[in-house]
Amino acid sequence: MLLRTVYLSLDPYMRGRMSDAPSYAPPVEVGDVMVGSTVSRVEASHCAGFAVGDWVLSQSGWQESALSDGKGVFNLGARLEHPSYALGLLGMPGFTAYMGLLDIGKPKAGETVVVAAATGAVGSVVGQVAKLKGCRVVGVAGGAEKCRYAVEELGFDACLDHHDPALKELLAKACPKGIDVYFESVGGVVFDAVLPLLNACARIPLCGMIAHYNDSKLSPGPDRTAQVMGTFLKRRVRVQGFIIFDDYGSQFGEFQQQMSAWFAAGKIKYREDVVDGLEHAPEAFIGLLKGKNFGKLVVRVGGETA
Ligand SMILES: NC(=O)c1ccc[n+]([C@@H]2O[C@H](COP(=O)([O-])OP(=O)(O)OC[C@H]3O[C@@H](n4cnc5c(N)ncnc54)[C@H](OP(=O)(O)O)[C@@H]3O)[C@@H](O)[C@H]2O)c1
């Protein structure tokens, strides 16, 4: 079948595909199409189960159209209210937030949850689900506008700017009972501020380290491995990395049902940052690694109508 790309998702993992350092997936070779999830429309089909006009979730990559034999393509149906949501809230990032928080973080009512990259595709969902579970939620985000949004729109109890030199002191004030769950997506100064506040038996879903994706060598300064590992040991902290579809793929249906119901009931809010034109994808992707996006970053590649 012939698929026409309507929305292309831009995600931090793509940085790893542009590097030949060892990773859980091989890099994209020079000359290949850059990988990426898309929401596309079927323009012509000889594949059973796919008709012209259907919306599909596909791995078409950074291109305007793609030929597909249907393998790994998910039919979303002919009518969709929010087609691009399949790349965010109802897709991979929402699923990452849901499983990482609930299965690894195991938040209990009354506990304090700190979430990094708090207004992004993953973080905004982590914080809202933690609120639904009755937790105190403190976000960390880049800039006053994002922090205001996290509190006023997403309902977090507090949100702190990671550019503030007083982050450590401010985080300690915002977490008077310490931190029970830290949803880690960033590393850097955010992790440094969190470490001293971790409670006994705290959990850290280790989702990402975006502050370090552009690093090409070890950060300068003393080796702090012993201090960090010693803190984990003494406070009996559980840290678990995860790669969402490798670890939880079989639970995607369950997640979609629950998240769609929460969204329909107005319990979860969702914000997108839509960039127009495939030619702007590289610039938008570079911006993602610097916090220029505000909400889930997608590129509108073509028009929605068939
Ligand atoms: N393990 C998995 O299976 C899995 C799956 C999906 C995503 N992830 C990870 O989850 C994290 C969030 O992904 P996302 O798709 O939701 O992206 P996102 O949060 O929508 O966008 C990335 C955000 O990261 C923050 N950031 C970028 N550079 C930073 C820096 N140097 N220091 C502090 N914050 C920085 C920025 O927010 P601020 O402006 O607020 O700083 C930026 O908006 C990433 O680490 C990603 O790799 C992991």
* Model pLDDT for residues 197-209, shown as the tens digit of each residue: 999 999 999 999 9
In whole angstroms, give the CA distance from residue 20 to residue 75.
Answer: 33
Cβ atoms < 10 Å from Cβ of 250: 8
Distance (Å) from CA 198 to ligand 1 centroid: 21
Distance (Å) from CA 199 to ligand 1 centroid: 24
Q: Please, which pLDDT band fits residue 306 given cuts at 50, 70 and 90?
A: low
Q: Supply the mean pLDDT for the chain.
A: 96
Note the pLDDT of residue 21.
85
As a whole-number percent, the residues of the chain with pLDDT over 90 amount to 93
3-state class of 287 per DSSP? helix
In whole angstroms, give the CA distance from residue 64 to residue 67.
Answer: 11
Tokens for 17, please give them.
Answer: 């595909």
Give the mean pLDDT of 227-237.
97
Note the pLDDT of residue 284.
98
In whole angstroms, give the CA distance from residue 170 to residue 130.
Answer: 21
Decide whether any atom of ligand 1 lies within 6 Å of the 213 Cβ: no
Q: Please, which pLDDT band fits residue 304 given cuts at 50, 70 and 90?
A: confident
Decide whether any atom of ligand 1 lies within 6 Å of the 12 Cβ: yes
In whole angstroms, give the CA distance from residue 15 to residue 5.
Answer: 21
Enumerate helices (H) and strands (E) in the chain, giving the number of each: 10, 13
pLDDT of 258 > 70? The answer is: yes
Note the pLDDT of residue 85.
98
- Atom 30, ligand 1: which residue's CA is nearest? 211
Render pLDDT for 263-296 as a digit per residue (tens, 0 to 9). 999 999 999 999 999 999 999 999 999 999 999 9
Strands 65-67 and 2-9: antiparallel
Q: Please, which pLDDT band fits residue 23 given cuts at 50, 70 and 90?
A: confident
Give the mean pLDDT of 64-88.
96
